[in-house]
Amino acid sequence: TLTWLTAHLLIFSFCSVLGHLVGPVNDVHFYAATKFAVTALTEGLRQELREAKSHIRATSISPGVVDTEFGYRMYSDDPSKAEALYSRHKNLSGLDVAQAVLYVLGAPPHVQIGEILLRPVEQQL
């Protein structure tokens, strides 16, 4: 039924730890601003869905450094910066982020997990 369906609908936004703080790295200040916007938009959406009594949940997943091509693309003109970014500590994997999604999916329909912030244990930000 439609009631069952809406009780099980989830909206995910994938953000970043930089949507919660501004780090001391000039290269990412504007990136952080866009991620703060995603965090705010997701929370606003969650509130609107609640006020509409839709029972649709909205969750933001905000990982720290994940082993992806992101850093290499961002620093394509200077790959040594990407190497420095990824070699500081053991980073998250895509599987780590997927586990966070599965955690949210496993929550009962009456439980709203608004945000998950995950990062490597040794990550400073």
125 in a structural domain:
no
pLDDT, residue 6, reads: 63
Catalytic residues: 31
pLDDT (tens digit, 0 to 9) for every residue of the chain, 125 residues total? Answer: 556 566 679 999 999 999 999 888 788 889 999 999 999 999 999 999 999 999 999 999 999 989 888 888 888 899 898 888 888 889 999 999 999 999 999 999 999 999 999 999 999 87
Range of the domain at 65: 2-118
What is the side-by-side strand order in the sheet with 10-14?
A: 10-14, 57-63, 115-118
Helix (H) or strand (E) holding 11: strand 10-14
pLDDT at 64: 93
Helices then strands, each counted (H, E), the chain:
5, 3
**Is 15 within the bounds of a domain?**
yes
pLDDT for res 4: 59
89 assigned to some structural domain: yes
**pLDDT at residue 1, rounded to an integer:** 53
CATH number at residue 88: 3.40.50.720
Look at residue 124 and tell me if it is in a domain.
Answer: no
Query: Is residue 123 situated within a structural domain?
Result: no
Q: For the chain, what is the domain count?
A: 1
Has residue 111 been placed in a domain?
A: yes
Task: Read off the amino acid at residue 105.
Answer: L
Q: How many CB atoms lie within 10 A of CB 83?
A: 13
